[in-house]
Amino acid sequence: MTEESKTVHLVSQEGESFDVPVAVANMSVLVKTMIDEDHDDEEAQEIPLPNHYIAEPMHEIEKPLKSANIKEVVQEWYATFVAVDQDVLFELILAANYMDIKPLLDLTCATVASWIKGKNAEEIRKHFNIVDDFTPEEEAQVREENKWVEEA
């Protein structure tokens, strides 16, 4: 069996099974460490995992984001996938980081960036429920030191 035709058998927590090329499975460093390179090539190795969409690989996300609307940045399926509550999205960011899945980390972080894009500090604080604990003097100093941000 050639390297290109090798597959692993991923099993979701819901019991669905997916035969996936090893190259795709290796996108996750965590999964890569679970693949037994000495496994019998006749049969795909079974690896238990949560669900993952692989029908249409995500295009690379342009940086800086061209829009504050994530639907204009990534394909429809991926935009819908990250259309979740803020808490869920932050859990996805943590999971993507832990599992070292760069495309998922890029997607989730781009979603947060789209929430911030075009907003001023007060709007960002409101969106993320951040308490403004700067005194007016401290805020003026920070604004002075970071004038270039507002000019961009």
- pLDDT tens string 78-126: 999 999 999 999 999 999 999 888 999 999 999 999 999 999 888 999 9
Tokens of 17: 């099974």
* Confidence check: pLDDT of 46 > 60: yes
Tokens of 62: 């342009």
pLDDT mean over 15-40? 80
DSSP lists the bridge partners of residue 20 as 8
Q: Compute the CA torsion angle 102, 108, 113, 114 (nearest 10 deg).
A: 130
Is the pTM higher than 0.85? The answer reads no
DSSP annotation of 72 reads G
